[in-house]
Amino acid sequence: MKNIKYAALSLLLVFSVGCEKVVEGINDNPNEISSDSFEAGVLLLKGIELANISVQAGHQTRISGMWAGHTRGLILLYKSLAEYNISAEESNNVWQNAYQGVVKQARMLRQQTATSPKAKQYSGITKVLEANTLGTMASLFGDIPYTEVAKEEVADPKFDNQKFVFAQLQLLLDEAITDLGAAPNTAIPEDLMFAGNTQKWIKVARTLKARLYMYTREYDKAYQEALLGVLVTTDALVFTPPAIGNGSQNLNYKMINQRGGYWGFTGSHLDNLLGKGRNNAKTQENARLSYYRFDGASATNNKGIAAINTPMTLVGLEENLLILAETAVRAGKTAEGIVQLNKLRAYLAGGRAFIKLNAADALKYDAYVLADFEKGGMENLDGIPTDRALLREIIEERYVSGFTSSMAFDDLRRLGSKEKDIAVLPPFNSATIKQYPQRFIVAQSELSANQNAPKDAGIFSVTEVNK
């Protein structure tokens, strides 16, 4: 990527979720902005948050969902993508959103607001957003530019090692937590997520730290961070699209509205799992299945996860509780693992996790007990060790709860070759392919412009953390 002095103009190419009212102010010519009249909260923070939403829930997430068996590609481009035929051009938008829309804008905002009374608030919030974006990018692509990004003197930023990037993002999140802890908890209306609430941003930062430690299999550290993370729904990082104009819509709705018939849910591995494999004496998934099952041909028919204004969760309670459950079991604390899993099941049973679209649909998530995972128990009919049976259920719940995020793809790569006894292994989408994709191809725009861009290793080349 060529470093640009004023990257704000490229931000405007980003947003599938933007709308005139939501992003009001960010279309101004950045060359007319001076530091003494600069109100970065108005001009940049909304755009940074919207860019991060696109990174977390946009095109790459849909592709990874098809590869993980969450959804299906039905015709034309999406059928080809589902069958692992992908080019570097498919990464251009996410690369643009991440580096121009989030990273450069976040660093410029911090620089321009260094003397503001809200400096530490802006700094902490934008560092969390930057870590969220680059953590996802490093997970999806492996080695990525980091240390030389946004340096004026560097025309071609080098690609940093994936593990190094994750370690640096942990430090960035530590800085964010320190900044937010020292910041005044004043209102920032331009913050679309929490209106500037520092304590909520700290909890999100902790869950993001836990997520990064899950990537690197530092499970003890992930557990400690998740204990301080998102433990109630009101602390989750969620964006509710205002649906007040073209572009301000739920991204699933927007995809279907633009490319009806390309993408579907019915017949996917997740559809089959929720319809058959998950139900037992303590679990009935009919209501969640109805909420998930979208009409890929007509956007306006959707009332569940692909409705025009359905909230999109970026860092949620479900993920945090399941991190606690998995890491507790891995540490030998099986009883606590069941407790954490049951906290999620109680939340699901309470009807707050998703909209129950049909009154007649069964919804049941009774608490599990240890005996359910012992040999011969309802969740261990094949007689594997008790802790492995419990882990298998936790990973399966991550697979289900992570719908429309990258969680299932992350776990497929983290566990698919090393822990097949607990991994969710969907059918392959091509008769000629017998291995799961491991990464995305670096954007063509980057390959063309950056002399330090690596030679494409192919989507089946394992990234460093999963070797």
Query: Has residue 2 been placed in a domain?
Result: no
- Output the CA torsion sign for 348, 309, 262, 12: negative
- List, in order, residues 6 or more apart from 333 with CB less than 8 Å away: none
Query: Has residue 459 been placed in a domain?
Result: no
| Mean pLDDT of all residues in 423-441 | 98
| Mean pLDDT of all residues in 260-278 | 97
- Using one digit for the tens of pLDDT, what is the confidence trace for 372-429? 999 999 999 999 999 999 999 999 999 999 999 999 999 999 999 999 999 999 999 9
What pLDDT does residue 43 have?
76
Tokens of 103: 């990273």
| Mean pLDDT of all residues in 133-146 | 98
What pLDDT does residue 42 have?
64
98 pLDDT higher than 70? yes
20 pLDDT higher than 50? no
| Mean pLDDT of all residues in 313-324 | 98
3 pLDDT higher than 90? no
Question: Are 57 and 404 spatial neighbours (Cβ–Cβ below 8 Å)?
Answer: yes
What pLDDT does residue 152 have?
84
**In CATH, what number is assigned to the domain containing residue 257?**
1.25.40.390
5 pLDDT higher than 70? no
Q: How many domains does the chain have?
A: 1
Task: State the residue for tokens 């099941």.
Answer: 345
319 pLDDT higher than 50? yes
Question: Are 17 and 54 spatial neighbours (Cβ–Cβ below 8 Å)?
Answer: yes
Domain span holding position 153:
12-240+250-428
Tokens of 39: 């109100």
The CA distance from 46 to 39, in Å, is: 12
9 pLDDT higher than 70? no
Q: Which of 17-26, 76-85, 130-139, 181-190 has the lowest mean pLDDT?
A: 17-26
Give the percent of the chain with pLDDT over 90: 89
Query: Has residue 279 been placed in a domain?
Result: yes
- Distance (Å) of CA 413 to CA 73, 135, 409, 426: 20, 15, 6, 12
Mean pLDDT score of the chain: 92
Query: Has residue 191 been placed in a domain?
Result: yes
Q: Which of 5-14, 219-228, 410-419, 421-430 has the lowest mean pLDDT?
A: 5-14
Query: Has residue 1 been placed in a domain?
Result: no
Query: Has residue 193 been placed in a domain?
Result: yes
What pLDDT does residue 39 have?
58
What pLDDT does residue 338 have?
98
Query: Has residue 458 been placed in a domain?
Result: no
Query: Has residue 6 been placed in a domain?
Result: no
